[in-house]
Structure 1
Amino acid sequence: MRWWMERVSWVRRRTPKGDWDISLVPIRQRHMGTDFAHRVTADMAESVRRKGGRFQLETEVTDLSLADDGGFLVETTGGRIHARFLLACPGREGAHWLRETVGALGVRTGYGAIDIGCRVEVASSVYEELTSVLYDPKLVFVTPTHQDRTRTFCTNPGGRVRVEEHRGFRLVNGDALKAEKTANTNFAILNTVTMTEPLQDTAEMGRQVARFANFWGGGNSLVVQRLGDLLAGRRSKPETFFDAELGFDKLVPTLPPGPGVTPGDISFAYPGRIVRNLQESLELLTRVIPGVAHPSTTIYVPEIKFYDIRYPTSDDLETNLPGLFVAGDGAGKSRGIVGAAVNGIMAAKGILRAAGQAEREG
């Protein structure tokens, strides 16, 4: 067993197989940090420019249509672009727009699972035993009541909880800097949701859940709740959010109550089954990391990952519409930045092959 597996063997001892519905998926990772990631992407962009590539930043794509020559016409706020081949990587924010736009061109799409959950913030010391070995530990749960699958995601030791702006609603997310650390660690617990009858559109379901959660925040706002309040069955309130008698003074959140962040009750903001799953996941997690159960632990909603739209494609990520390739989270082909990067390489190779074949046939 590798040395880093040995260092997390205590997790497996605390989660004996068959006794508890929780397991650790150990992987090796390197943390770049949000601040250093900008340097890497800037270097990549410069490399593309040196090879003749051109970027149109802060440019919105407003429409997409087919050209008479079989290519594509892309309407943007910076003008029209004609392309023989097109790679669409909409990200989670643009996933719904792309589905509606390419659907009108005859591109086949389907629905997959969506992840709906919460962002949890604890003191860094609580999670340090695990994050000192695994920067982003992956813990998978099977909830006792409904036998649903949940998991931890996007752990940020010494990180910050952030507001994520979308069209028509707000979500919560988290990140961490490499050069500057906070006293807290945040992570998501995500509940995987699938739908069959009578509804299948998980993307629209997620949008409705996000808007409803923002509604319970008093408008376009996140809902934040102390774990002590959640377990006691009461809503969090501004006047008691840092109450010392309740133990809430032990953790100062990196995203405290204020404009756009409202103390409340996630059991009103989310469907009951999801709330139950999240609460049971936290209870399972406290068996491995007892400090998570402190009353001051802070929970934010809504956190939703929109990568549920599915595009049937070739191995090169080409859709049923010749010349149109898709990649990334918003196209349902990845669940994170590393997978999305691999997607880009796969699609690029596919475009080169398609272009070479077209040249030979032309």
Structure 2
Amino acid sequence: MKHYDIIIVGAGASGVFLSYELTKLENRAKVLMIDKGAPLEKRQCPIKKGAKTCVKCSPCHIMNGYGGAGTLSDGKYNITTQFGGDLHNYVGRDAAMALMEYVDEVLCGMGGADAKLYSTASSELKTIALRNNLHLLEAKVRHLGTDRNVKILGRIFDYCSDRIDTMFYTTITEIEQEQDGTFLVKTDKGEAFSCRDLVLATGRSGSKWISSVCDRMGIKQEKNRVDIGVRVELPAEIFKHITDDVYESKIVYKTDKYNDQVRTFCMNPYGEVVAENTNGIVTVNGHSYADPALRTENTNFALLVSNTFTEPFKDSNEYGESIARLSNMLGGGVLLQRFGDLVKGRRSSERRMKKCFTRPTLQATAGDLSLVIPKRQLDNIIEMIYALDKIAPGTANEDTLLYGVEVKFYNSKVEVDKNLETKVKGMYALGDGSGVTHSLSQASASGVYVGRILAEKYR
């Protein structure tokens, strides 16, 4: 059995920046990072190679592997505490912002310096939105693009490769804590390792795994929220005046009918809609690129309705999964519907889709989202589309495309202290896998934060 000082479970944003900081800062720690996904150069979605639909790779190349779910995303880093997680509640607001600014400096130093930094703070859009009962959240946004993001992560891996041992295609099957406080870690390859400090940084795709670990270790978790919605796709010209100004517009609306909050999420100008596989369930997301040659004629973004449950129901993720499974059952994966068909109460057929002026960037099954998404959430989404039409005329056009479903699983919020350490001494939980963060910037910042703590410990 091989011994390490630190084992990092997960090579997502938090794990990557934890390894970066441990490499940069002077310390004597021996470090191993384990991920169930592929190394960066092997992460290729079959759809990019010509597959018509998601073939349910195990593990999913979009969700797993070096860099985590953020690797093949559009590389959007939102520097803010208004959304994207609660890191500021643990480390303080000023410290959280400083950590995110530091992450931005690292990204720029690794090749992102020419990526534009947007800001919504003084945008005229904020005033226009308020006049229409829409609320634009404030953030600075660094958009790297999927292509540039992959190159930067490659440079970070190379920087850390001589200092950090890394294992891919490896799943941890068992974790035990010995009487002396060290951890015993076993893998599906029959290997065993021990360590003094264990960092759980599994990201969104590791939600069930980290919950099982916490249950066995007696660590408290909160499980009460999931976001359900659709991915909207429309001609880029409709949102051009917004995306050219702020790029990522986080707009929140409170519906008249139910008094529920609906928000835009992950806006991708000139991007493409993609399918992703989370624990065997196919949902939808969006990407965009920095290289003009890779851009499309459309913009896509999510519209999400937050669902928070009370007793006795506790497993909000299972609720979201059940809706996604229904979409997979009816559509064999992702369902697609024209907005005009939805409001008229009819399914989108192949015949109707052939007449559609908006060309879809993801091949999906034409169908009826009202058979999948609960009425309350669907009513909220329709009302939000009409609200957005006031600041971006054309949003409510008949040929606006809706892909379903998009589900944002909020990992159970793990009980941690101000150092992001659980009640089990030496076990840390950070990034999106901990439920503390929900964004690339905050997840990366949490990795830097714990990296500094552990570097000091092993000086």
Q: Same fold (TM over 0.5)?
A: yes
In structure 1, what residue type is equivalent to 2:370?
A: S
Inter-CA distance 148–63: structure 2 relative to 1 (3 Å threshold): same
Is there any run of 5+ residues in structure 1 with no aligned partner, and where?
A: 357-362
2:318 aligns to what? 204
SS of corresponding position for 1:291: coil
- Residue 41 of structure 1 deviates from its aligned partner by 1.0
Among candidates 265, 286, 296, match of residue 174 of structure 1: 286
Range 192-201 or range 126-135, more displaced = 192-201
Q: Is the 8 A contact 2:119 2:141 kept in 1?
A: no
1:360 aligns to what? none
- Residue 28 of structure 1 deviates from its aligned partner by 2.6
- Residue 336 of structure 1 deviates from its aligned partner by 1.1
After superposition, give the CA deviation of every residue in 1:104-133 in whole Å (9 maximum; x if it has no partner): 121211124221111100111111100001
1:222 aligns with 2:334: yes
1:306 aligns to what? 409
In structure 2, what residue type is equivalent to 1:13?
A: I
- Residue 11 of structure 1 deviates from its aligned partner by 5.0
SS of corresponding position for 2:378: helix
1:291 aligns to what? 394
SS of corresponding position for 1:292: coil
1:233 aligns with 2:336: no
1:163 aligns with 2:275: yes
For 1:156 and 1:181, how far apart are their aligned partners in 2? 10
In structure 1, what residue type is equivalent to 2:359?
A: V
CA RMSD for the aligned pairs?
Answer: 1.9
- Residue 352 of structure 1 deviates from its aligned partner by 4.0
For 2:429 and 2:119, how far apart are their aligned partners in 1? 36
In structure 2, what residue type is equivalent to 1:59?
A: T
SS of corresponding position for 2:290: coil
1:187 aligns with 2:308: no
After superposition, give the CA deviation of every residue in 1:231-268 in whole Å (9 maximum; x if it has no partner): 1111111121122xxxx2x2111013xxxx21111111
Q: Percent identity?
A: 31
Bigger relative CO (Cα 8 Å, ≥ 6 apart): 2
In structure 2, what residue type is equivalent to 1:195?
A: F
1:267 aligns to what? 370
For 1:214 and 1:175, how far apart are their aligned partners in 2? 21
- Residue 294 of structure 1 deviates from its aligned partner by 1.4
2:73 aligns to what? none
Q: Is the 8 A contact 2:262 2:306 kept in 1?
A: yes
2:175 aligns to what? 64
For 1:330 and 1:35, how far apart are their aligned partners in 2? 25
In structure 1, what residue type is equivalent to 2:327?
A: A
In structure 1, what residue type is equivalent to 2:422?
A: T
1:55 aligns to what? 166
After superposition, give the CA deviation of every residue in 1:32-70 in whole Å (9 maximum; x if it has no partner): 0111111111111112123x2111122222222223431
For 1:142 and 1:277, how far apart are their aligned partners in 2? 9
Is there any run of 5+ residues in structure 2 with no aligned partner, and where?
A: 1-117
Among candidates 355, 361, 365, match of residue 254 of structure 1: 361
Q: Is the 8 A contact 1:226 1:299 kept in 2?
A: yes
Among candidates 404, 424, 434, match of residue 321 of structure 1: 424
After superposition, give the CA deviation of every residue in 1:162-202 in whole Å (9 maximum; x if it has no partner): 01012231010011121121111110111111000331221
Range 221-230 or range 198-207, more displaced = 198-207
Inter-CA distance 266–319: structure 2 relative to 1 (3 Å threshold): same
For 2:444 and 2:411, how far apart are their aligned partners in 1? 18
SS of corresponding position for 1:137: coil
2:196 aligns to what? 84
Among candidates 107, 114, 124, match of residue 9 of structure 1: 124
1:279 aligns to what? 382
For 2:454 and 2:428, how far apart are their aligned partners in 1? 8
TM-score between the two structures when normalised by the length of structure 2: 0.70
SS of corresponding position for 2:245: coil
In structure 2, what residue type is equivalent to 1:254?
A: T
TM-score between the two structures when normalised by the length of structure 1: 0.88
Among candidates 333, 336, 340, match of residue 443 of structure 2: 340
1:125 aligns with 2:237: yes
For 2:255 and 2:330, how far apart are their aligned partners in 1? 26
For 2:374 and 2:129, how far apart are their aligned partners in 1? 31
1:38 aligns to what? 150
For 2:336 and 2:437, how far apart are their aligned partners in 1? 29
For 2:231 and 2:451, how far apart are their aligned partners in 1? 35
For this pair of structures, how many residues does the alignment match?
A: 339
Q: Is the 8 A contact 1:306 1:330 kept in 2?
A: no
- Residue 8 of structure 1 deviates from its aligned partner by 3.6
SS of corresponding position for 1:15: helix
After superposition, give the CA deviation of every residue in 1:265-296 in whole Å (9 maximum; x if it has no partner): 11111111111111111111111111111111
Inter-CA distance 232–266: structure 2 relative to 1 (3 Å threshold): same
Inter-CA distance 58–276: structure 2 relative to 1 (3 Å threshold): same
After superposition, give the CA deviation of every residue in 1:130-150 in whole Å (9 maximum; x if it has no partner): 000111111111111111111
Q: Is the 8 A contact 1:316 1:349 kept in 2?
A: no
In structure 1, what residue type is equivalent to 2:316?
A: T
Q: Is the 8 A contact 1:318 1:350 kept in 2?
A: no
In structure 1, what residue type is equivalent to 2:434?
A: A
SS of corresponding position for 1:85: strand
